Amino acid sequence: MSMNKNIYLALAMVVIIITALGVYAFSSYKTTIDVKNLGGSPANGEYKLVVKILVNYGPFGGIHPLGSADVWIYYNGKYYNQSLTDSNGVVTFYLPPGNYTLFFTVFNIKYNINLDSNYEVTLNYAYLKST
């Protein structure tokens, strides 16, 4: 009987450790938007805005670019432009300086940016976790 208790105790410890690791991994799994200033001056009065959309399927599914995702640009609260991401999850806009709102339509997420340089904006969407 003592042997069975030891086996159950060992199994319980394994379950506790696996649960703790899962909670830790899940707590760092969230949707993020990262902005990188690429520097440089405007070309023909326009800055380059590179937008990337990545979908994070969790620790076992990996991160993949999202192709054919519609990205809309608003300027002063009004529609300005839109385009689709390529197979690498990237779309590039050339825009005059100003305050813009990016609208990632597939996820219904908006992000404001002051375009005073060339920028790269990356949406890393946590697919398995609701926002």
Whether the predicted pLDDT of 111 surpasses 60: yes
Q: What is the pLDDT of residues 81-102, one digit of tens each?
A: 999 999 999 999 999 999 999 9
- Asked if residues 47 and 97 have their Cβ atoms less than 8 Å apart, the reply is yes
The pLDDT score that the predictor gives to residue 108 is 96
Straight-line distance from the first to the last Cα atom of the chain, in angstroms, rounded to the nearest whole number: 49
Cα 123 to Cα 9, 94, 108: the distances in Å are: 44, 19, 12
Whether the predicted pLDDT of 2 surpasses 70: no
The pLDDT score that the predictor gives to residue 28 is 66
Q: What is the pLDDT of residues 45-60, one digit of tens each?
A: 999 999 999 999 877 7
Give the DSSP letter string of 70-118: EEEEEETTEEEEEEE--TTSEEEEEE-SEEEEEEETTTTEEEEEEESSE
The pLDDT score that the predictor gives to residue 9 is 86
DSSP type of residue 39: E
- Asked if residues 101 and 112 have their Cβ atoms less than 8 Å apart, the reply is yes
Q: What is the pLDDT of residues 16-56, one digit of tens each?
A: 888 877 766 666 678 999 999 999 999 999 999 999 999 99
Whether the predicted pLDDT of 124 surpasses 90: yes
Reference 93, options 41, 57, 53, 50; nearest CA is 50
